[in-house]
A and B are shown apart, each in its own frame.
Chain A
Amino acid sequence: MPVNAHPLGISRIRVVYAKRDALRFTGHLDLQRLWERLLRRSKLPLRYTQGYHPRARLNLASALPLGFISDEELLDFWMDEWLPLPEIQQRMTAVAPPGLEIYSVQQVDMGEDALQVQMKASEFVVSFYDPQNILELNHQVEQLLNQTTITITRRKKTYNLRPLILDLETATAPDDAAILRMRLKAEAGATGRPDDLLETLGYPNTAYLVRRTQLLLN
């Protein structure tokens, strides 16, 4: 048992995983249920919430918009007994659905803040289905960054996207296609969405694929 183990054997496990393929069309709430079921199938000694309909206690770092794929997502869950980490990973991998790849599991301190609270920013790469001219794309990005206010309306609420853009640049993929890289703020109440940014640039959500490449925590 590790030194920092809880006296009762309760442990908090952090999972790093990728979400791809068909799973890109599984939204946040459905993903939550998918994880609950995956964990039940794994038969790990999960810690359940109290109450009439007890549920496995788990915590997803940051909602990934529908249609995006991700190389790095984070999840915390709690167990009542301690088990070796390789066994935990092996048991989860054995029952994972296609498109969900578990990269690593680690034990984290029980006292850490919830993942959502630790979230600072997300990094994304955008590739376009139809080839884009990199010079034009550069120009568009420059114009966008020169604005001080980018007003976005989503579900009847408006917000200013500009201060949420921490970084935005064009690049070329190995196949020479022009792509976009961005780092957007992802804090409670201040989360920038790549699809909003792309819509401002004139791209509908049927024109590109977004990949989240990294989550940045505190």
Chain B
Amino acid sequence: MKAKSLQERVEHLLPAVTKPGRYVGGELNQVVKPWESVQTHVALVFPDIYDLGQANLGIAILYDLLNQRVDVAAERAFAPWVDMEAAMRDAGIPLFSLENKRPLADFEIIGVSLPYETLYTNFLNILDLSKIPLYSKDREIQHPLVIAGGQAVFNPEPVAPFVDAFVIGEGEEAALDIVDAHQAWVESGGSRQDLLLRLAQIPGVYVPALVKVDYHPDGKIKTIEPADSRVKLPVVKRILAKLPPPLSRFLVPNVEVVHERVSIEIMRGCTRGCRFCHAGMVNRPIRERAAIEVMEALTAGLDQTGYEEVSLLSLSSSDHSEIIPLIEGLRELLTQRQVDISLPSLRIESFSDELMDGLQSLSPGGGFTIAPEAGTERMRNIINKPLRDAELMDTVRSVFEHGWKSLKLYFMIGHPQETLTDVEAIADVCKRVLHEGRQIAGGRVRVHAGVSTFIPKPHTPFQWAAFDDPTAIDAKLTLLKDALRGSKIKMTWNDPRASLLEAWLSRGDRRIAPVIERAWRKGARFDAWGDQFRFEHWESAFAECGLDPDFYSFRERDLDEVLPWDHINVGVRKSFLQEDYRLSLSGGVRPDCRDQCYACGILTAFSELRRAQPGGGWKCP
């Protein structure tokens, strides 16, 4: 009897698992190239299930870019859900790509997207399911090159031992450079070490094996230095001088995924400088796409996909200099076609009546969301999201006057210097909002408070701050729940233990890697999924590795301490962050830097690039 192909073996077990359509590919606009027809095979991996990964814009962009090259085939792979993992392990089936149904170990390059820390165990699980050694040092010449990128790896250290090379920053150009370097290396017949050295020469590429870290006896970092004279530190992140034409050729999934819509990034970066915000610091400088380019891409995307929804992505949509023309364009689109429009991330300060009118006409009957982040003016100044109570209430009134009935307010607790008065104020704000809403729009008004816990993030002014004590967080949540009881305001909050895990991982160093491995071996997977998260695995993993988790979460760092990510330069100077942190202690604010430059360092870091490629839509003054 002839041996069954991998594809046949997979298909035979699929009827027994949930949502088998996750594992078969075959979507409209999928690119399948004959395996032997290309020189370099790249597996693009999002380490969560298809339902999430297929909706990820980063993966979609790289898939499109890499497949435009005739010498490259980019294929996709995602984490199998727990039932499929069990079935695959049972049948001895390795993780495979959706296009050619090839084991991941057959690819030359594996590119993993790590947008958040709670994907780390899934990443290890994927390597293991692919029969690829977990640690970079154990991989040999026949193994794929493992690349990681994404928002989380601006601090690459917690997963550094598992990754051959990181892309720090924007991946569009770096991905192509990595393929070129790999091809040149194959031709040269060099060793794996040669490959790593070649990669380390690419701007924005960080090869952790070529960097060594030494520690003080108290566990703090002493030095981070190149392990090879040919390696230069710091690694400066990669950015594009001008955003490329947006993607309009999207895959159309055959089974339901989280977002099924044409998503267009209208700008990259943010000028608001909220001190807790990782994305706002690491994605500078601000670069916009022209409204006309956005509208053309939306139209082309709708034609390509047949989707019924469009979404404009950015960190602060209402700050786009052409937001009014954009909304006009969307309104026109709405009258031509039956589509829903979503426009997230709107800033309270930037609402005009004109904008409100436009938004209401786009989404009648929808809800409105604003994020004051804190309940008092004092606290909002500390986090540099300055907003007077009166302004907040003006905006709220305007929302209800324009016809919205449902308002969602986002807050964070656990900010540096937060007192119980600040927390109580959150409940007061919510109640006042509900009261105003009822005055204006009547009894059907609904107010929803989403409360998350502040997590200090690398490369932000709060990177030195301590993560709030769990008992304090519990007390604050209890206070809010009590204060809102019987008020008809719906409140939702994050699991404080999930936030604690994120706090450990986001500011971790290399010594965390064995903890991640151990937690994974104990069964930690899908840590971002409330029903799969097993906090106890992490606690025991830390204990067994002899590492004190409090060192990473609850310790306030000295301003002159060497931080695990000090060798990664995101363009914002450490001295600027220090200055801004000090300023926060006295309640000093730095409003929108579109109007006034505070010299964060980004312009100096990329002045040459900006000069070489002018006209990139930079909105720095």
Contacts and interface: CB of A to CB of B under 8 A. Distances in A.
The DSSP consensus for interface residues of chain A is loop
B304 interface: yes
Contacts of A30: 21, 254-256
A105 to B, nearest CB: 18
B15 interface: yes
A204 B16 contact: yes
Given A40-B306, A41-B304, A205-B15, A21 B26 contact: yes
Highest count of chain B CB atoms <10 Å: which of A37, A39, A54: A37
A98 B14 contact: no
Nearest to A22: B26
A101 interface: no
A205 B16 contact: yes
Nearest to B30: A98
A95 B252 CA distance: 11
A206 B26 contact: no
A89 interface: no
B25 interface: yes
User: Chain A: interface residue count, which band?
Assistant: 20 to 34
A39 B306 contact: yes
Interface in A46-68: 48, 52-55, 66-67
A97 interface: yes
Contacts of B16: 204-206
A158 to B, nearest CB: 22
A66 B365 CA distance: 35
A205 B26 CA distance: 22
Interface string A14-31: 000000011101110110
Contacts of B254: 22-23, 25-26, 30, 34, 97
B319 to A, nearest CB: 30
A66 B28 contact: no
B26 A98 contact: yes
Contacts of B338: 48, 53-55
A25 B21 contact: yes
A204 B13 CA distance: 10
B308 interface: yes
Contacts of A33: 256
B581 to A, nearest CB: 48
Nearest to B26: A22
Contacts of A48: 338
Contact of B15 (A43, A53, A66): A66
B20 interface: yes
B119 to A, nearest CB: 25
A27 B12 contact: no
A129 B4 CA distance: 10
Interface of A: 21-23, 25-27, 29-30, 33-34, 36-41, 43, 48, 52-55, 66-67, 95-99, 129, 204-206
Given A23-B254, A37-B307, A206-B13, 11 more contacts: A22-B24, A25-B255, A26-B255, A30-B255, A41-B305, A48-B338, A53-B340, A54-B338, A55-B338, A205-B15, A206-B15
